[in-house]
A and B are shown apart, each in its own frame.
Chain A
Amino acid sequence: MASLSIERLKKSYGAVEIIKGVDLSIADGEFVVFVGPSGCGKSTLLRMIAGLEEITSGELKIDGAVVNDLAPKERGIAMVFQSYALYPHKTVYDNMAFGLQIAGTDKAEIDAKVRNAARILKMEHLLDRRPNQLSGGQRQRVAIGRAIVRNPKVFLFDEPLSNLDAALRVTMRAELAKLHRDLAATMIYVTHDQVEAMTLADTIVVLEGGNVRQAGSPLELYHLPRNLFVAGFIGSPKMNMLPATVSAVAPAGLTVSAPWLAPTVIPVNPGGVAVGATVTVGIRPEHIQAGEGAVSVTGTVGLVERLGHQTIVEIAVSGGGLTALIDGETMTSPGETLTVGFHPKDAHVFDAAGEALTRLVVPEIAKVRKQRPAA
């Protein structure tokens, strides 16, 4: 187990800067998830931590020691790859034992460690098989087992579940969460799957274009996104973002109006926003209900996607479109006029630069962090 500290970390390929100065501190035993769109640099950052990519500038410390110039094997890390990267010609046992064999570990010790990892991952019966005789989930387990046997300071996962089918992903996700609980190890996990990020992470780091846009607990990111990017990235369906004009500024909040929105007071700290400024109002689809609400909006129904328990409705309003996630029993169909409502305290306001104005009413749940049972 170990803590990690990343300071002004940069990575360039020639003139192209991929990681543009990342600062991050990861506590001992923390489960950190890097998320972001394709090409945001999340995998590159992970590979830099692993030592598979050179660090152009900045400092990477594991347990306080700078490891920039250390080879992967000297960093005390283990990595699980998206493709599993098992050695096809070796049995499951030898796949897991390989790292220890290379390190010259005593045979009896290797055997004990491999069998212990196999027991943790419930695959004692697979030890004699080769990777091509295993299912996707079993292969992933071997890849994780290979990491466990080395007892690393830090586990790195590069989209480990993305090659699995949906059902298996749910199972493996739960197993990973349990593994983290059992090993209490520091884990860094890259994914583009929000559900994985929200369910597994102590801390989610949202990356965009080589920059960290926000790092925080899953619920903090959901309820208190710091900017438009994070607001749009976390949550599915995506947060609605519509332009509005500030018509009054008061300590209790901003009064905003737009063609689609009657003047409404949204409880946010006005900061430097002045009357007449254009801001972006954000409201999550799940905070919009069918029928009248504290604030009501009427529009024409476009697309209707029925999920059973809920229905996603796209509503064309003057000045833009709104997506609402309403209950599954409301009868509506494309072309109809529909009135929906939301509460101003659920809305977010972003200034012209896309930065969020501090919300004055923060739901209690936003402060909740992942619960871990006492060891």
Chain B
Amino acid sequence: MTTRSERLLQLALALLVVLIVLAPLALMVATSLKGDEGRILLDIGSLAAFWVSPGEASLTNYVQVLSSATQPFLRFLFNSVFVVGWIVGVGIFVNSAAAFALSRMRFRGRNLILAVVVALIIIPMEALAIPLLLMVNRVGWLDSYQAQIVPFIAHPFSIFLFYQFFAKLPKDIDEAAYVEGASPFQVYWKIALPLSGPVIATVAILQSLEYWNAYLWPLMVTRGPEVRPVSLALAQFFGTPPPTWGDLMAFSVMMSLPILILYLAFQRWFIQSVVASAVK
């Protein structure tokens, strides 16, 4: 039983953590809404940086970013949505199908493949970047969408998440379906996949975050704004002198929005999945 003072202390600590987490976000949003660059520079270094009075708020920075001819924000945004959409969309089917086979079907070498998949989780992208670049170059995919999509559809951690979920599904369910005449694909498609909503949400959020923020690989395989993602564009924007903080923050806010929307859309399932893996 917690006492009132203990609860107050807990609340204060929680608030402190929330403030620390939200501070950069507040700084970003507040700065993006300040039209006057001089004011921004004046506010930085004081608490005023985290706040913009409603009277002063303006969308000037957003208009500037969206109307820039040299930095076509909407094009970059489309590129990112396109690339991440394909990776996540196709990835859900490929990774769940692989996990289904690994968890539900008996074949030679199954355990070895599973061990390799788990081992691949810890290999960082950076370690694979150079050989992958050579391969992509070899097939002539430099400066293309497919160079940013195809190598990342198969995702070991997603396979692992699906594997864990499928492994926990009672075997009787598959067997009942087999007795009723279902093929392994039908069991996957009509039974296992529809049941894995929480995992799909988790995988969608984790993979989207990972590839939305991807930097090194797009930098290696893209040249111009045609296929470049927004993450790379932000760096480019930041590196173009003089740095205008208002524009930069407006750029950052707009870049964060799609991921935020995705999270809000899937958060119920996502939390359900995380809680389920914690308490079961």
B-binding residues in A (CB < 8 A): 50-52, 71-73, 77-79, 81-89, 98-99, 102-103, 146, 150
* 8 Å CB contact of A72 from B173, B178, B195: B178
A79 to B171, CA, bound (A): 14
Residues from chain B with Cβ under 8 Å of A81 in the complex: 172, 175-176
The answer for the CA separation of A87 and B178 in the assembled complex, in Å, is 13
By a CB distance below 8 angstroms, the chain A residues around B177 are 87, 98
Separation of A4 and B191 alpha carbons in the complex (Å): 31
- Using a Cβ–Cβ cut-off of 8 Å, how many residues does chain B contribute to the interface with A? 16
- A sample of 6 more A-B contacts (CB under 8 A), given A99-B181, A103-B181, is A50-B179, A77-B179, A81-B176, A84-B172, A85-B170, A89-B195
With A83-B172, A102-B186 as given contacts, are A89 and B180 in contact (CB-CB < 8 Å)? no
Q: Which of B178-194 contact A (CB under 8 A)?
A: 178-182, 186, 190-191, 194
Chain A, Cβ-Cβ closest to B183: A102
Residue pairs across A and B with Cβ atoms less than 8 A apart, 28 shown, are: A50-B175, A50-B179, A52-B178, A71-B178, A72-B178, A72-B181, A73-B178, A79-B175, A79-B176, A79-B179, A81-B175, A83-B170, A83-B172, A85-B172, A85-B175, A85-B176, A86-B173, A86-B176, A87-B173, A87-B176, A89-B194, A98-B177, A98-B180, A98-B182, A102-B182, A102-B190, A103-B181, A146-B176
Of B181, B182, B190, most buried by chain A (CB within 10 Å of CB) is B181
Footprint of A on B, CB under 8 Å?
A: 170, 172-173, 175-182, 186, 190-191, 194-195
Which chain A residue lies CB-closest to B195? A89
For the complex, what is the distance from the CA of A86 to the CA of B178, rounded to whole Å?
Answer: 13
Residues on the A chain within 8 Å of B176, using CB: 79, 81, 85-87, 146
Set B173, B186, B194: member contacting A85, Cβ < 8 A = B173
Residue of B nearest to A83 (CB): B172
Across the interface, B179 reaches (CB within 8 A) one of A72, A87, A103, namely A72
CA A51 – CA B170 in complex, angstroms? 18
Beta-carbon contact of A78 and B179 below 8 Å: yes
A73 touches B172 (CB 8 A): no
Cα–Cα, bound, A103→B181 (Å) = 7
CA–CA, A77 and B179, complex, Å: 7
Chain B residue contacts of A85, Cβ below 8 A: 170, 172-173, 175-176
Closest B residue by C-beta to A79: B179
Neighbouring A residues of B191 by C-beta, 8 Å: 87
**CA of A321 to CA of B133, assembled, Å:** 82
**How far is B172's CA from A99's CA once the two chains are assembled, in angstroms?**
15
Cα A85 to Cα B176 with chains together (Å): 6
Note all chain A residues with C-beta closer than 8 A to B195: 88-89
Query: Cβ of A98: which chain B residues have Cβ within 8 Å of it?
Result: 177, 180, 182, 190
B170 touches A73 (CB 8 A): no
- List the 6 closest A-B pairs by CB distance, nearest first: A99-B180, A73-B181, A85-B172, A85-B176, A72-B179, A81-B172
CA A246 to CA B172, docked complex, whole Å: 53
A349 to B170, CA, bound (A): 46
Shortest distance from the beta carbon of A144 to any chain B beta carbon, whole Å: 12
Given contacts A83-B170, A89-B195, A52 and B175 within 8 Å (CB-CB): yes
With a cutoff of 8 Å between Cβ atoms, the chain A residues found around residue B186 in the complex are 102
Q: Which residue of B lies closest to A150 (CB)?
A: B180
Residue of A nearest to B169 (CB): A88
Q: How far is the CA of A71 from the CA of B172 in the complex (A)?
A: 16
CB proximity of B167 to chain A, nearest CB, Å: 16
Q: Nearest chain B CB to A28's CB is how many angstroms away?
A: 21
- Tell me the minimal C-beta distance from A89 to chain B in angstroms: 5
Query: Smallest CB–CB gap between A67 and chain B, Å?
Result: 13
Q: Within 8 Å CB of A88, what residues of B?
A: 195
Chain B, Cβ-Cβ closest to A81: B172
Which chain A residues border B181 with CB–CB below 8 Å?
A: 72-73, 99, 102-103
Task: Output the least CB separation between A91 and chain B (Å).
Answer: 13
* A72 nearest in chain B by CB position: B179
Nearest neighbor of B178 in chain A, beta-carbon distance: A72
* Measured CA separation A273–B194 after assembly (Å): 66
Taking CB atoms, residues of chain B closer than 8 Å to A71 are 178
Query: Is B179 in contact with A52, judged by CB distance below 8 angstroms?
Result: yes
Report the bound CA distance from A84 to B170 in whole Å.
Answer: 10
| A87 cross-chain contacts in B, Cβ below 8 A | 173, 176-177, 191
- Chain A residues near B175 (CB, 8 Å)? 50, 52, 79, 81, 85
